[in-house]
Amino acid sequence: MMGKWDMVRLGDVCEIVSGSTPSTGNSELWDGDIKWITPAEIPVDSYFIYDTERHISQKAGLKLMPAGTVLLSSRAPIGKVAIAGEPMCCNQGFKNLICSDNIHNRYLYRYLRNQTAYLNSLGRGATFKEISKSIVEDVEIPLPPLPTQQKIADVLDRASVLIKKRKSQIAKLDLLVKSRFVEMIGDPVRNPMGWEVKRLEDICDKITDGTHQTPEYTDKDNGYLFLSSKDVTTGYINWDNVKYIPEELHLKLYKRLAPQRNDILLAKNGTTGVAALVDTDDVFDIYVSLALLRPKTDIDPLFLLIAINSDSTKHQFNAGLKGIGVPNLHLKEIRQTKIVIPSLELQTKFADFVRAVDKSKAEMQAGLEQLELLYKSLMQKCFGGELF
């Protein structure tokens, strides 16, 4: 028992349907009027899917899933979920669930969205993990009466809409900063206001990278913070999974390069061309995958950060990428990158605007985190039978 409801096998309340891919060498099987979906087409915040990137013809002979089928990815990755808004077929990366009259598809969707970790634990395979049809059939789910299932789906849908709206508001603030940049500074490519254009090496006192030495790591209590490109997101440093190095190595590295507040960290490989502002006085070291830029006193660091993270600058970075395997942005290309430089007064005015937006964004982010906690609590109570 889970809560007050019986647990049932998915195979007893759903027909499990596997998909396949028609021969790509036979053009007669493709470009018809039947929708054909792959797991890559299901976004993170998916719900109903009404169209697909590719279509197949009747000659492909695949089983057509009815609208309302719950789409469950069974490999690469396991656990992505959506609902077919139209009749469609799928590739072999799915084990889909055609609901019987005993289970509501939106209830099933909401339940499976909360089971990603569990579904992944059921994966089998040496090369890549996959959940088979028989595994999906044996997954158990709490089954309240149909009216209760619909109430649960409605409650979680409403909570999900609030979360989606808050995420959209946060995304709009990012767009607001970009549009304000163009409004105040102008398009950095066309430079209609005729601002001076300078290379990064001309507006920074220092442009260098972190240690090339592969470090040995230690624990938090005995080590010093050590950042790499994976710790840098657009605009911010993510401290959640930062590693630590022993004191002996730290003293050696810090003597050469001591990052300080208002320096800019730029990812050289991995997610290249992504920059963050150092907004702490904490002591830390950096790996070679990060470049450090120290703006001169007549350059506002926050303005420069936004300029570096702009599409026009990223285009310059992409043009300078080197390497066949993992693309790498070299210091030479970074130093030669051109930036439009308005007056310091205008830089500061724009930076003040960004700080105000960031304050609103932080408040919205806190609200979003509260909504997400509420959603998780609602799921536990709904599926545990505590609310209905």
Q: What is the set of domains in the chain, with CATH numbers?
A: 7-143 (3.90.220.20), 145-185+343-388 (1.10.287.1120), 196-341 (3.90.220.20)
Residue 326's pLDDT is what?
62
Closest CA to 235 of 333, 328, 287, 302: 302
pLDDT tens profile 168-178:
999 999 999 99
Indicate the average pLDDT of the chain. 93
Residue 1's pLDDT is what?
38
Q: Is the pLDDT of residue 344 over 90?
A: yes
- Does 3 or 362 have the greater pLDDT score? 362
Q: pLDDT confidence of 81, banded at 50, 70, 90?
A: very high
Which residues, at least 6 apart from 268, have a Cβ–Cβ distance to it below 8 Å?
209, 229, 288, 289, 290, 291, 328, 329, 330, 331, 334
Q: pLDDT confidence of 127, banded at 50, 70, 90?
A: confident
Adjacent-strand bridge partners of 5: 2
Q: Is the pLDDT of residue 234 over 90?
A: no
pTM: 0.80
- Residue 141, amino acid: I
Residue 233's pLDDT is what?
87
Rounded to the nearest 5 percent, the helix, strand and coil shares of the chain are 40, 25, 35
Phi, psi of 207 (to 5 degrees): -135, 110
Q: pLDDT confidence of 43, banded at 50, 70, 90?
A: confident
Q: How many CA atoms lie within 13 A of 256 on its CB side?
A: 14
Q: pLDDT confidence of 272, banded at 50, 70, 90?
A: confident
Residue 153's pLDDT is what?
96
Q: pLDDT confidence of 318, banded at 50, 70, 90?
A: confident
Which residues, at least 6 apart from 241, have a Cβ–Cβ distance to it below 8 Å?
230, 231
Q: Residues 227-254: what's their mean pLDDT?
A: 92
Return the residue matching tokens 């499990």: 16
Q: Is the pLDDT of residue 324 over 60?
A: no
Q: Residues 226-242: what's their mean pLDDT?
A: 92
Which residues, at least 6 apart from 71, have a Cβ–Cβ distance to it below 8 Å?
37, 42, 49, 80, 81, 82, 83, 84, 90, 94, 96
Q: Residues 284-295: what's their mean pLDDT?
A: 96
- Residue 384, amino acid: G
pLDDT tens profile 151-207:
999 999 999 999 999 999 999 999 999 999 999 999 998 999 999 999 999 999 999
For 179, the enclosing helix (H) or strand (E) is helix 146-185
Residue 325's pLDDT is what?
58
